[in-house]
Structure 1
Amino acid sequence: MPDKTPASITKAFEGYHRERVGPARQAYDTSERFRQLFRKRLINTLIRAAVKYIPQFIWNRAFDRLYSNRPQVAFLPLIPDHGLIKAFPQPSLQLDVSSESHH
């Protein structure tokens, strides 16, 4: 953040919102779908039975996408990404925070 003015702070929060709201909404929606899956209704029992027959490679692709969102904060040392599935790009990590003082 170049300065500490209200406009600069607002711009930083808007950038954070743009970057995080999509993945946060996706995580919430996924959680909601799992919650609905475990209801005690006949249709849910049938769906759970069918899910057992989904091939492993399809599960792997779904989990790869789910776990590719691994946000980090730019003002701490970054954790190396050694995983087989690389994390999604995170624009806020491209910001230069090295010139700011950390008090």
Structure 2
Amino acid sequence: MSFETGLIGYAALASLALAVKKYRPARPLPAMPSMRAARPLGWALLALAAIVAIMRFGAGLGVVAWIGQLCIGGAALVLLLSWRPRIAYGLAMPAAAAGLLLTAL
């Protein structure tokens, strides 16, 4: 099974979490998007993850794979946010880059 949808979905959910003031870290991370840019970036990454899943598996299985991998990525994000929030946000950009790299292969 391919994991690029889950990696991109993780980055999307992390970006959407950064759009909420409650979940932003007090000390900004390097290359952290602003609150205004985080929300559209998160939605764009969610759409990209859906497109990648549909292209990889077809329309029927693609939507199911997208939702399933989004749930796994979301669970990983929630667990990391409760334990080490800076690591959770720090992994978002490498996860997106790895997902896009795996998609290109």
Structure number with higher helix proportion:
2
Greater RCO (CA < 8 Å, at least 6 residues apart): 2
Q: TM-score, normalised by structure 1?
A: 0.29
Q: Which has the larger radius of gyration?
A: 1
